[in-house]
């Protein structure tokens, strides 16, 4: 139990430390990580820089180590040769001396120390009698020229000289000055035999390596500056090469982006490279083909629009003639049989529907051609909704209720087009509401006004909801029609909403009815707004993942060009 609690505390502490680390480093590393994931050029330059830096670091360490070893070895060999020469000169003086008493031996020791200083490049000399020898009263005492040499002699070096296995022994030491400063050095030890039974003396000669250390520091600084300059040069070189290498890729991305934005004349430039030029030629050929197809479609679309507009206008003349003939027949209905009366009524109904269809076709052709002009005026949408409902209530066997939750303030809209939207929505609710009540709600907020039309009819599937605004589309082609629609009402309604900068959306589920929502911004300068009414009705359980279940943020739709509408 204790071990488990200890592990839990450790895991909790580790998690807190990790979260603290993420919180501290996120502002710095977050943008770099995002840039790292999105930029191939950054990844290439970073990896190249790291590899190059590693190579330069390894090379610098190897060169510095080699130079340091060579300098130290050379200086050590020089010190050994210098010490050997001084030791031979000193031993020659001892062998030639006939000193036998204390005074002469002391003078001889001073002469030996002076000879060592004169024949060597060092001024640090330490001469002492080897310990453990038979007492000789006349033997001269130890003498030295510098105290830090005495402190630098280690017991290991003294034992090695006393063993007398080699003529010379050396050791790397650190000399400590009186002011506390240190400097590297070498102590070379050898043996001298004094006359008159004075015994064997140890000779220690110290060599400072400050000059060698200075040379090595200079080499280090030079290598560091050279490495920094090399890294900067390599970084600039990699950046230039990356810019050159990725230039064709950037050109291809820019050209494809311009082509996707509608610039059909965008082409990739030649890059003077075999493979990239092949890519440019293929891309440009594809763009030429696409441009030709778009031009063909534009021509066909214009022909279709002219055809629809011309046919609609041309059909008005015979339609007017048929209407006049129908009115004449209706004026003479007293002398007609019941079958003929029914035919006259059907004729009048179909003429009205035909005229409505021609009007809708002309309106659609105006939207496709981009020749729609708004005639705005301050309009109270609550009053407008009441007028529409009062006009359509006689056509419905169910109650149509208007719930004004807000939206009393007038806004500048084209009242005729907004009235047409609401009439289409209420008419569809009457058509497919199966006799159930219909609720028209109006509400507003600081940025927008919304109108929803809710019915409790049979509803349609979520897949079909995406097609309710398509032209001439029906969820059930065999469904009866009580109002004689043309199949273009919702398509025109969405265009009417878009030309006001608003949105028209639909929600429906089988057996749960439908809900249509019209949202219009209060002013032209509003680019984003939230609908004050939910798209999913309050009496329906909201579905997971529905972003507009409670009236999500909407973007003001951009006015589409003629070319975009044709595409």
SS (H, E, C) 176-192: ECCCCCEEEEEEEEEEE
Residue range 524-545, pLDDT digits in tens? 777 788 889 998 888 876 554 4
In 3-state terms, the chain is what percent helix, strand and coil (to 5)? 55, 15, 30
Q: What is the residue whose two structure tokens read 């005492």?
A: 141
Pairing of the two strands 513-521 and 503-509: antiparallel
Contacts of range 110-117, beta carbons closer than 8 Å, 24 or more positions apart: 110/143, 112/192, 113/143, 113/145, 115/86, 115/89, 115/90, 116/86, 116/87, 116/89, 116/90, 116/203, 116/205, 117/145
> Which segments of the chain have a pLDDT < 50?
1-3, 478-484, 544-551, 559, 561-567
CA 64/CA 223 separation, integer angstroms: 8
pLDDT at 486: 57
CA 534/CA 407 separation, integer angstroms: 15
CA 525/CA 528 separation, integer angstroms: 9
- Directed axis angle between helix 489-499 and helix 415-432, to 10°? 150
Tell which residue, 176, 188, 185, 187, has the closest CA to residue 209. Answer: 185
Residue range 369-393, pLDDT digits in tens? 666 778 889 999 999 999 999 988 8
CA 126/CA 53 separation, integer angstroms: 49
| Residues present in the chain in total | 567
User: Which class is 374-566 in CATH?
Assistant: alpha beta
Domain ranges of the chain: 39-247, 262-371, 374-566
pLDDT at 249: 79
pLDDT at 324: 77
Distance of CA 364 to the CA centre of its chain: 43
Surface-to-core class of residue 445, CB atoms within 10 Å of its CB (0-12 exposed, 13-18 middle, 19+ buried): middle
452 phi, psi to nearest 5 deg: -120, 145
- Within 97-153, residue ranges assigned H as helices are 102-119, 147-152
Surface-to-core class of residue 206, CB atoms within 10 Å of its CB (0-12 exposed, 13-18 middle, 19+ buried): buried
Tell which residue, 271, 268, 292, has the closest CA to residue 282. Answer: 268
CA 47/CA 45 separation, integer angstroms: 6
Structure tokens at 363: 């309106």
Q: What is the residue whose two structure tokens read 């002219």?
A: 306
| Count of CA atoms in the C-beta half-sphere (13 A) of 117 | 14
User: Is-contact 477 400, C-beta < 8 A?
Assistant: no
CA 490/CA 469 separation, integer angstroms: 5
pLDDT at 135: 62
pLDDT at 519: 92
39-247 CATH = 3.30.450.20
CATH of 262-371, one of 1.10.287.130, 1.10.760.10, 3.30.565.10, 1.10.3720.10: 1.10.287.130
pLDDT at 1: 45
CA 312/CA 375 separation, integer angstroms: 24
Tell which residue, 518, 506, 486, 488, has the closest CA to residue 413. Answer: 518
CA 508/CA 352 separation, integer angstroms: 30
Residue range 336-364, pLDDT digits in tens? 777 777 777 777 777 777 777 777 676 76
Tell which residue, 483, 472, 436, has the closest CA to residue 456. Answer: 436
CA 95/CA 111 separation, integer angstroms: 13
User: Is-contact 208 220, C-beta < 8 A?
Assistant: no
Pairing of the two strands 400-404 and 438-444: parallel
Q: How many CB atoms lie within 10 A of CB 27?
A: 8
Torsion over CA: 238, 239, 241, 242 (sign): positive
């Amino acid at each position: 139990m204790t071990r488990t609690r200890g592990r839990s505390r450790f895991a909790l502490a580790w998690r807190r430390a990790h979260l603290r680390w993420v919180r501290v480093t996120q502002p710095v590393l977050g943008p770099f990580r995002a840039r790292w994931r999105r930029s191939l050029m950054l990844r290439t330059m970073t990896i190249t820089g790291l590899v190059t830096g590693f190579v330069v670091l390894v090379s610098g360490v190897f060169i510095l180590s080699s130079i340091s070893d060579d300098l130290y070895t050379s200086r050590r060999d020089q010190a050994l040769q210098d010490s050997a020469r001084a030791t031979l000169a000193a031993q020659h003086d001892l062998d030639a001396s006939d000193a036998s008493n204390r005074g002469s031996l002391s003078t001889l020791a001073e002469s030996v120390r002076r000879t060592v200083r004169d024949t060597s490049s060092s001024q640090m000399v330490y001469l002492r009698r080897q310990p453990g020898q038979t007492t000789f009263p006349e033997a001269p005492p130890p003498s030295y020229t510098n105290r830090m040499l005495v402190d630098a002699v280690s017991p290991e070096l003294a034992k090695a000289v006393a063993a007398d296995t080699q003529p010379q022994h050396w050791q790397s030491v650190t000399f400590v000055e009186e002011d506390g400063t240190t400097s590297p050095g070498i102590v070379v030890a050898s043996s001298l035999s004094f006359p008159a039974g004075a015994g064997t003396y140890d000779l220690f000669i110290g060599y400072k390596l400050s000059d060698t250390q200075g040379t090595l520091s200079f080499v280090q600084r030079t290598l560091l500056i050279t490495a920094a300059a090399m890294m900067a040069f390599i970084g600039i070189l990699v950046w230039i090469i990356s810019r050159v290498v990725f230039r064709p890729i950037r050109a291809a991305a820019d050209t494809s982006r311009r082509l996707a934005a509608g610039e059909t004349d965008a082409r990739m430039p030649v890059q003077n490279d075999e493979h990239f030029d092949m890519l440019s030629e293929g891309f440009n050929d594809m763009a030429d083909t696409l441009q030709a197809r778009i031009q063909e479609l534009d021509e066909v679309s214009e022909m279709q629009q002219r055809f629809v507009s011309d046919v609609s206008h041309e059909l008005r003349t015979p339609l007017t003639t048929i209407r006049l003939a129908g009115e004449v027949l209706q004026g003479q209905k007293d002398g007609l049989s019941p079958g003929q009366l029914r035919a006259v009524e059907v004729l009048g109904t179909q003429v009205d529907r035909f005229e409505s269809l021609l009007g809708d076709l002309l309106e659609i052709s105006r939207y496709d051609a981009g020749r729609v002009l708004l005639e705005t005026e301050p309009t109270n949408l609550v009053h407008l909704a009441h007028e529409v409902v009062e006009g359509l209530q006689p056509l419905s066997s169910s109650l149509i209720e208007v719930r004004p939750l807000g939206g009393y303030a007038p806004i500048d809209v084209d009242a005729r087009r907004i009235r047409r939207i609401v009439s289409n929505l209420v008419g569809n609710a009457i058509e497919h509401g199966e006799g159930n009540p219909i609720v028209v709600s109006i509400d507003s907020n600081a940025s927008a006004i919304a109108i929803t039309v809710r019915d409790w009819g049979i509803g349609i599937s979520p897949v079909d909801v995406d097609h309710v605004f398509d032209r001439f589309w029906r969820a059930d082609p065999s469904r009866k029609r009580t109002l004689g629609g043309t199949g273009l009402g919702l398509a025109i309604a969405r265009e009417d909403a878009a030309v006001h900068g608003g949105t028209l959306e639909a929600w429906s589920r089988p057996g749960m009815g439908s809900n249509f929502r019209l949202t219009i911004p209060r002013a032209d300068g509003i680019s984003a707004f939230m609908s004050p009414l939910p798209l999913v009705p309050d009496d329906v359980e909201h579905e997971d993942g529905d972003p507009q279940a409670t009236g999500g943020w909407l973007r003001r739709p951009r006015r589409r060009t003629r070319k975009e509408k044709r595409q």
